[in-house]
Structure 1
Amino acid sequence: MKKNISIVIPSYNEASNIDKLLASLNETITALPYSFKIIFVDDGSKDETVSKLKEIASQQDNVYYVELSRNFGHQNALKAGIDLAKSNSDAIISMDGDLQHPPQLIPELIAKWEEGYDVVYTIREEDASLSYFKNKSSKMFYGLMNQLSEVKFEPGTADFRLIDQKVAEIFSDFTENELFIRGLINWVGFNQYAINYKPHARFSGESKYTLTKMIRFAIQGITSFSTRPLYLAIFLGMGLSAFAILFFLVYVFYSLYFGHVISGWASVITTIVFFGGLNLIVLGIIGMYIGKLFMQSKGRPNYLIKNSNYK
């Protein structure tokens, strides 16, 4: 009996990429001795993505679409696909719909899975086509994650991976409000294997990850896997308190030695603004954790499905 493998593809405004992606996927998986299901999860697209997927699904039996009720974000859309596919799949492959994740790597992912690995993930090699800032900020992100989180991340880790059914079952039970899937998959453990790959150029459209979204994603990842920022706030407060005491002693010594008081309102105002800003930063760190608790306490689902042909 053929093993069943599902390919989950979160999609947001990818109408211009679908035909090219499917052609590349079909060319790759046709020769493999497995039964494949290709599941597109539309994450509230504003273009013709849904209508195009419905048209293709009516013509190709192994293509399925899942239409979410609105835009819930890439990570939630990916979870929706895994949740649906887990019970009917021996393994699940996740990849993006912009062709930057090469379908030609799928046979290698499956080969490592057949060797006994439960998770086969990919690591993106540095892309020369990206700007210096983009590559540098990516390295800084992973460096910061490894410094502040108990879970270690390899630079370039992507959401292009294969997970075994038992891993998918465990992941599906997670009810976290703010998902950071590459961290969760790392956290669950099991036998994991990494494969390096060179990302393809985006076929069409623009990247959905703006600088603002990347920063938010980084903060989300750090606060999801570590309470170290809270400890950092404590040590920062202690350090600045020690600095304030030292400054006070220097001030007293200077006044006694030279016989007059140091004057200057500018230094006073600067100090007040500095410590005021520091207080806001610390309160912000605490507020993020309280906010996550607040949102988690509501118990809302990660996504809502509006329509689907998945069986």
Structure 2
Amino acid sequence: MNTRRRISLVIPFYNEEENVDNTLAVIGKVIDSTRYDWELVAINDGSRDQTLAKLHAANPENFELVVVDLSRNFGKEAALSAGLSQASGDAVIPLDADLQDPPEMIAAMLEKWEQGFEVVLARRSDRSSDGFLKRQSAEGFYRVMNRLSEVKIPDNVGDFRLMDRRVVEVVANLPESRRFMKGLFAWAGFRTTSIDYIRPEREFGETKFSGWKLWNLAVEGITSFSIAPLKIWTYVGFLVALGAFLYGSVVIARTLFFGIDVPGYASLLTVMLFMSGLQLIGLGVIGEYVGRVYLESKRRPPFVIRSVEQRGRKSA
């Protein structure tokens, strides 16, 4: 009877044909197959290149490869959720296909796990591989997110982490379809520690996350874990109403003491446009939340799996 514990690596792939062979080769070199049984859950997130063909052609020797093919491109958060649903390991480690999450850190994560920690975070101690704008926007996101939300997301920590089986089951069974995974991981809690690493440059291909996608991900995170934007507009409305009351009082007093005064149309138009802009912004914030409630009420699954194929080494 096999008593060795099983480790699952979860990697979403989207148009990563240039990285498939190198990623599988590097992982095959760094894992300790004498101590653990290994599986790599590779999720093809609707790739339009040869990513799926290369995954199907792979035949690793020291780990089992589980190829999960989604019916279309659902996005990284959904693809990661699909991978967690298929992972069978006692510990699960999500990482990126471009190897900017270095597999060499896996051994250190497993050591912390063996010490009793249920979550081991990989914290980026140096983000020099990212551009200036990306570093500043990431720093701003973590600062804003942690001020607005009761769930605190660790700074400079992505999806790269180790999670015990109990943590994975909690996250995988959450019913929501709009899934901001960093927030869900933090919400689950459990005994947590972290290790630092320096993120290397991407060797092949280009990132699939544009500035617009990162912005939408940030909005998704804030609206998924905080209602502070809704509360803020309550105070904005109060301040605007207070300002209007004070201004009205000044106009009344000036009319009583100095007679009737006809204000200019320019100032009136400016105030009207300003108030209209505030109303539209407030409606936009409310619309973000209403839209998410609407999508969640449909109860659609976050992903659809077309097929699952297992290749390579089987557990003893």
For the aligned pair, the TM-score class normalised by the smaller chain equals: over 0.9
Counterpart residue identity of residue 84, structure 1 = Q
TM-score normalized by structure 2? 0.92
1:164 alignment counterpart: 164
Q: How does 1:60-209 map to 2 (within 5 A)?
A: 62-85=64-87, 88-209=88-209
Q: Which has the higher contact order (CA 8 A, sep 6+)?
A: 2
Tell me if structure 1 keeps the 8 A contact 2:10–2:94.
Answer: yes
Q: What are structure 1's unaligned runs of at least 5 residues?
A: none
Tell me if structure 1 keeps the 8 A contact 2:129–2:200.
Answer: no
SS in 1 for 2:8: strand
1:224 alignment counterpart: 224
Distance of 1:310 and 1:223 partners within structure 2: 37
Distance of 1:4 and 1:58 partners within structure 2: 16
Tell me if structure 2 keeps the 8 A contact 1:177–1:292.
Answer: no
1:284 alignment counterpart: 284
Post-superposition offset of 1:217: 0.6
Deviations 1:66-92 (A, max 9, x none): 11000111011001111111xx31110
Deviations 1:200-223 (A, max 9, x none): 111122212111111111111111
SS in 1 for 2:143: helix
Tell me if structure 1 keeps the 8 A contact 2:15–2:47.
Answer: yes
Q: How does 1:199-278 map to 2 (within 5 A)?
A: 199-256=199-256, 259=259, 261=261, 263-278=263-278
Tell me if structure 1 keeps the 8 A contact 2:11–2:80.
Answer: yes
1:265/1:39 CA distance change after superposition, 3 Å: same
1:34/1:296 CA distance change after superposition, 3 Å: same
Distance of 2:32 and 2:152 partners within structure 1: 36
Post-superposition offset of 1:261: 2.4
Tell me if structure 1 keeps the 8 A contact 2:93–2:161.
Answer: yes
Tell me if structure 2 keeps the 8 A contact 1:57–1:65.
Answer: no
2:314 alignment counterpart: none
Counterpart residue identity of residue 14, structure 2 = Y
More displaced stretch, 107-116 vs 246-255:
246-255
Post-superposition offset of 1:160: 0.3
**Structural RMSD (CA):** 1.8
Counterpart residue identity of residue 123, structure 2 = I
Tell me if structure 1 keeps the 8 A contact 2:28–2:62.
Answer: no
Tell me if structure 2 keeps the 8 A contact 1:255–1:262.
Answer: no
SS in 2 for 1:116: coil
Identical aligned pairs, as a percentage?
39
Q: What are structure 2's unaligned runs of at least 5 residues?
A: 312-316
1:37 alignment counterpart: 39
Post-superposition offset of 1:57: 4.1
Distance of 2:34 and 2:207 partners within structure 1: 31
Post-superposition offset of 1:233: 1.3
2:26 alignment counterpart: 24
Tell me if structure 2 keeps the 8 A contact 1:39–1:63.
Answer: yes
1:297 alignment counterpart: 297
SS in 1 for 2:238: helix
1:51 equivalent to 2:53? Answer: yes
Equivalences, count: 309
1:21/1:262 CA distance change after superposition, 3 Å: farther
